[in-house]
Chain A
Amino acid sequence: GEDVEQSLFLSVREGDSSVINCTYTDSSSTYLYWYKQEPGAGLQLLTYIFSNMDMKQDQRLTVLLNKKDKHLSLRIADTQTGDSAIYFCAEKGYALNFGKGTSLLVTP
């Protein structure tokens, strides 16, 4: 099948904002998800957005959805070293169709 696309790496300084971008494939996807994976661990659900929304905010996290361009982004405000992890976007198919993940490195 087609791939969900993400950039592989992002490096930011502590305190800055991080923006992780994703392009998904299925315009009929009803839900789109962001997961976080810390080293040696499984995937932790961060947030999700329903396709009839264009923005969702949850504390330091802001999700933006552009359905026309099939573009999803995750903004992390005031990024901390504990935010260093791999971030996956996923679209809902018969299971979940994941991107390959973006490794976020936060430097002091």
Chain B
Amino acid sequence: DVKVTQSSRYLVKRTGEKVFLECVQDMDHENMFWYRQDPGLGLRLIYFSYDVKMKEKGDIPEGYSVSREKKERFSLILESASTNQTSMYLCASSLIRDNQPQHFGDGTRLSIL
């Protein structure tokens, strides 16, 4: 079974802090994704990566950056956290072949005070 593990289920940080959200997958997937989920807005793609050291902007990359130094790990970085980044963050991974679905972690609920 595919396992996507997000390092924290709940996280509370302060405005202006640099925040790291970590995601690890154990199935040698090429693709990894970060989404945020907000009530009434559904899931929105922040960044994705299709290979080590490769990254692509999604629909809402502003205020975020990512790092993919190893194939199994994809980090989301909030450079200077703001209250409007309070959200549920979901990581996903998939094989690169076209028909392969994405597998999700359990999410990190991040609160910025």
Residues of A within 8 A of B (CB): 1, 30-31, 33, 35, 40-45, 48, 50, 88, 92, 94-96, 98-101
Contacts and interface: CB of A to CB of B under 8 A. Distances in A.
B98 A92 contact: yes
What interface size band does chain B fall in? 20 to 34
B103 interface: yes
B42 A100 contact: yes
Nearest to B47: A95
Those 5 A-B pairs whose CB atoms lie nearest each other, nearest first:
A100-B42, A42-B104, A43-B104, A98-B43, A42-B106
Interface string B54-89: 001011000000000000000000000000000000
Interface of A is mostly: strand
Contacts, number: 48
B15 interface: no
Contact of A50 (B48, B58, B99): B99
Residue from B56, B59, B104, B106 whose CB has the most chain A CB atoms within 10 Å: B104
Contact of A96 (B56, B102, B106): B102
A31 B33 contact: no
Report which residue of B40, B45, B56, B101 has the largest number of chain A beta carbons within 10 angstroms of its beta carbon. B101
Contacts of B21: none
B42 A95 contact: no
A61 to B, nearest CB: 15
A91 to B, nearest CB: 12
A48 B101 contact: yes
B106 A100 contact: no
Contacts of A44: 104
A95 B43 CA distance: 11
A76 B101 CA distance: 21
B42 A101 contact: yes
